[in-house]
Amino acid sequence: KSGSVRFNRDGDRPGSYQLYQYRKSSDSTFEYVPVGTWDDQLVINKSLLHWGKFNDKLPGSICVAPCEAGLITQMLHTDRCCWICIRCQPYQILQDEFTCANCSKYKMPSKDKSTCVDIDDEYLRWNEAFSIIPAALSVVGIFFTMFTIIVFIKYQNTPVIRASGRELCYVLLSGILLTFVSPVVILAPPSDIICGLRRIMLGIPLVISYSALFTKTNRVYRIFNSGKRSVKRPQYTSPRSQIVICLLLVSVQVFVTVAWLLIHPPAVTREKAEWNRVIIDCSASDLAEVTSLVYAMFLVLLCTVYAFKTRKMPENFNEAKFIAFTMYTTCIVWTAFIPIVVGTASTDYK
C-alpha cells in the first residue's frame, strides 16, 4: 500500500526532522535529548531546554548586546558585526545612535539627552543662607541706626548732643545707614539699574562715614594744637564749615563714581561657571572696584593718623580714644578685605 507523496514549490519533498539537544545528564554523561520537531513548522518544548551557565536563559548569538539608553554605538574596524558602547559626556546629547553632540554655550542636555534645554540663571536669591544672614544683619543695623538718629533728633539741643558735634554726627549716621542699606542692593536680582546702584553704594556710604570722622578728628586736633600756640580760634571749625568740608570730601567720591558709570556703563553679564551652571552678575572688574575704594582707604588712613594724634585729649573729648580704636580695627579689616576680593577668581563666591 503506497501513501501520498508531497512536493514543495521548488520540487523538493518536504522534510520532517527530530530536534535534539546535546547536554550533560545528571550522571555527568552527555546525551542527545529530543526537544522538538520540524514538519513544515517548528515545534519546541522550551521546558525541556537547559542552557547550563546561562541560567537556563536562551543565549544570544550576537557579538555584543544592543547599547543601553544614553550610550552610542561605535563599530569596531576589525569586525562589522561587533561594536562597543560609549557614554556621551555630561554636556553632550545623543544626536543619533552613533554620534554625541555638544550643546550651545548657555544650554545643557535634557534628562533623556535627546535635546538641549536652557540653563537656569543663578544669582543670590533671598531664600538662600548666603542672602538671609546678611539681609537679617542689615535690617538689624538699619533699625539701631534709625533708633540712634531718632534719639539724636529728640535730644539734639541737650549739652551732650551739642558738644558731640551733632551736625557731623548726623552725617556719620547717614553714612552708616546707607552702609547697612547697601547689602539689600547687592542682594537684589541683577539688572542694569541695580548694577548702577551697586557701584554707587560701593564707595559713597563709606566715604560719607569716613569724611565725617576725618573732619571731626581734624577739627579736634586743630583746636587743641592751635590752643598751645594762640588763644585765637582756628579757621573752619564752625558747624557750617565742617559740613562744607565734609561735602567737599564726599564730592570727590561722587565724581569718581559718576566717571566710572559714564566710562563703563553698568550692565549684566552671564558667565558659564560649569557645563550646567550659568551665573549672572554685574559687569565690573576687580581693578575698577578696588580703584573706586582707593579714596575711601585714603580717608581711613587720614582718620587713623588724626585719631592717633588726638588719643590723649582731655576727658571731655575722650571720644577720640574710641575713634582711634575704631580706625585701628578698620585698617585691619581693610587689609584683609582687599586681598580676599582680588584673589577670589570665582564670581559666585564673591
For residue range 52-88, what is the model confidence (pLDDT) as tens digits?
Answer: 665 666 766 677 778 887 788 888 776 667 888 888 8
Quote the percentage of the chain above a pLDDT of 90. 23
Q: Are residues 210 and 326 in the same domain?
A: yes
Q: For residue 343, give the 3-state DSSP assignment.
A: helix
pLDDT digits (tens, 9 = 90+) for 196-249: 999 999 889 999 999 998 998 888 788 777 666 666 677 777 888 889 999 999
Judgement on whether residues 45 and 153 belong to the same structural domain of the protein: no
Residue 9 lies in a domain: no
Provide the number of structural domains found in the chain.
3
Chain centre to alpha carbon of residue 31 = 71
What's the rounded mean pLDDT across residues 4-26?
A: 78
89 in any annotated domain: yes
| 32/93 same-domain check | no
Supply the CATH number for residue 336's domain. 1.20.1070.10
Q: Which of 117-121, 139-143, 321-325 has the lowest mean pLDDT?
A: 321-325
Query: Cα–Cα distance between 206 and 297 in angstroms, integer?
Result: 9
pTM of structure? 0.70
Distance, in Å, from the CA atom of 229 to the CA atom of 213, rounded to the nearest integer, reads: 25
Question: Is 206 found in the same domain as 179?
Answer: yes
Q: Which three cell numbers stand for residue 285?
A: 572688574
Query: 105 and 161: one domain?
Result: no
Residue 323 within a domain = yes
- Return d(Cα 125, Cα 128) in angstroms, integer: 6
Q: What letter represents residue 20's amino acid?
A: Y
| Segment 145-194, tens digit of pLDDT | 999 999 999 988 888 888 778 888 899 999 999 999 998 998 888 999 99
- Residue 5 CB neighbours (<10 A): 6
Summary mean pLDDT of the chain: 83
pLDDT level of residue 290 (50, 70, 90 thresholds)? confident
Model pLDDT, residue 49 = 82
Is position 106 within any domain? yes
Calculate the CA 302 to chain-centre distance. Answer: 36
Which structural domain, as residue segments, surrounds residue 20?
16-54
Q: What is the dihedral of CA 142, 147, 148, 154, to 10 degrees?
A: 150
Instruction: Let me know: does 185 contact 201? Beta carbons within 8 Å.
Output: yes
H or E stretch covering 10: none
